[in-house]
Structure 1
Amino acid sequence: MFGGYSGVRKDSLEDLERKTLNMQYTLLILGILCALIALANFSICIWIRFDLDFWEWIIEIGWYSYWNAMYVVMIGMVLTALNSALMCYSVMSESRGLMLLSVVLRLIIWCVVLAGAVVICIYGVEESDLLVRELDLIFRNLINKWDEDPRASRILRMIQEYVGCCGASGNRDDYFNVRKVIPMECRHPVTGNNYLHGCPQTLAWWLEPWTATLSALSLLFTLTDIPMIFLNLKLRSLLLQLQE
């Protein structure tokens, strides 16, 4: 009878060890994937931050809102990558304490990543009234400085030609209202027709592909963090059973 009980106990222990090993492999793979995706998203932020054309526009017009929003995303991605590395180390070393620390940090980082996704959408999509209003004030100011500030007229010409827009939210009427000559950059280089949309709306459209990528990957982490926390706690429970 005792031999039969010992055999059942052995089978149960082997099954527990197999579950633990499978959970460790799963968490290691997920941790490595999360770290790579976070670093890729961080790299996109670096590329946007130092894109020469966009960098010059930001500096010349004095509009730093998109960069500031992007910094929140960058911080979230760095923290996510570091915490993923911590989780992988805790899984390999079978440290229940480090696993718990990783879970607590993941909850904090979840808030940072979600905040980054929200602010980058506020300052990076055409549907954002706050963004359009902010850009409208900036472009109206550039139009008012058109005659006396060569740098203002130069950067406005560059943006209008590059993204295909004219003036602020009022389009060419913004030039009429302050008695300015409509620049040639307000016209399509092939058809010669005046661009239909103002620069605030068009620039917001132009930012949307970047914003979509950054926010989508950030939201991906907010969705995957919940099952990751569950798997970490499950592994801690399995390790505790093995120790007993």
Structure 2
Amino acid sequence: MGRGGSLSSDHCLTFSVLMLNVTVGLLGLTLFCLSVWMRFEGEVRTWISELGMYQYWTGLYILMAASIIIVLISICGCGGTLTANPALLGASALLILIAVILELAGGIYIVVHGTENSQLTPWLHDKFNRLIIDSNYNDKALGILQTVQEKVGCCGALSYQDYDRNRLPISDFCRDKISGNVFQDGCVKRFSIFIEKRSGWLSGIALFIAFLQIILVGLTFWHWKRVREVDADDYPRNGYYDPVPTKTR
């Protein structure tokens, strides 16, 4: 009965590790697709390129690399689980730890550089102030500012008063097309929220995968230990010596 219970426990452990690897692999593929979409999505790409906010891409690149590693590790983990190969299981567990570090790094980097009230806020404040000043004589700066204000629904860096402080007329793109009222929110706040809605999904998925992988590391090491124990028990029966004595004349 003890042996049967042990076999049942081993089968349950194998199934758990296999399913968790498949789940993590699918989530890793989802994370990769979302990161690529964010990197090449037309509106976001245009604005980030125009504003020169290239530090945002760094977090996406880290997540892309992490997601590729996640998928490869999941394939390795599934193979090691199905074949009960201790070498593949051990390598999979160690590589998962590396992937977790990359996921945390990418997720935290995006949160720090792509959410409201983060390091993005003062950077955007300086950027939009400069655009307001330059818009008086620079057509490119004027075009960027008008596009952002119209699409996001904002006015100035912190508010419409930024135009007054720089002794410039309030842009027509600062007004709601229906009511004609000036947008009350500044572009720093509205643009940060616009980016945060997208980066929040990526960070959330990355952190959730990291949480699942921490569990997966524990289960994989446990499975690796059980495989080693079974191999050690079966060692005398694998042809290394003959338990039946040879007949002598």
Question: Does TM, normalized by the shorter one, top 0.5?
Answer: yes
Structure 2 equivalent of residue 30 of structure 1: 20
Which residue is 1:7 aligned to? none
* 1:220-231 matches, cutoff 5 A: 220-231=208-219
SS at 2:181's partner residue? coil
After TM superposition, give the deviation of residue 82 of structure 1 in Å. 1.5
- Aligned residues, how many? 232
Give the Å deviation of 1:122.
0.8
Match of 1:160 in 2: 149
Equivalent residues of 1:20, 1:239 under 8 A apart:
no
Per the TM alignment, residue 125 of structure 1 is displaced from its structure 2 partner at its CA by 1.5
Task: Answer whether contact 1:16 1:242 (CA < 8 A) is retained.
Answer: no
User: Percent identical across equivalent pairs?
Assistant: 28
Structure 1 residues 17-70: Cα deviation after superposition (integer angstroms, max 9, x where no partner): 332222222211111111111111111111111111111112222111222222
Q: Which runs of 5+ in 1 are unaligned?
A: 1-10
Aligned match of 1:18 in 8, 20, 30? 8
1:189-200 matched pairs, under 5 angstroms: 189-200=177-188
Shift of 1:179: 2.2
- Report whether the alignment pairs 1:79 with 2:69: yes
Aligned: 1:126 with 2:116: yes
Q: Which runs of 4+ in 1 moved over 4 A?
A: none
Partner of 1:207: 195
**CA offset at residue 100 of structure 1?**
0.9
1:146 corresponds in structure 2 to: 135
How far residue 220 of structure 1 moved from its aligned partner, in angstroms, is 0.8
* C-alpha distance after superposition, 1:54-110 (max 9, x if no partner): 111122221112222222222222221211111111111211011111111111221
Asked which structure has the greater CA Rg, the reply is: 2
The Cα offsets for residues 166-189 of structure 1, whole Å up to 9 and x where unpaired, read as: 1112x2222222222211111111
TM-score (norm 2): 0.88
Match of 1:91 among 61, 64, 81: 81
Q: Tell me, yes or no, if structure 1 residue 113 matches structure 2 residue 77.
A: no
Which amino acid in the other structure matches residue 136 of structure 2? D
* Structure 2 unaligned residues grouped into runs of 5+: 234-249
Paired letter, 1:40: T
TM, length-normalised to structure 1: 0.89
RMSD: 1.5
Alpha-carbon distance in structure 2 between the residues aligned to 1:233 and 1:57: 46
Q: Who is 1:55 aligned against?
A: 45
* Aligned position for 2:245: none
Identify the residue that residue 125 of structure 2 maps to in structure 1: 136
Structure 2 residue identity aligned to 1:231: L
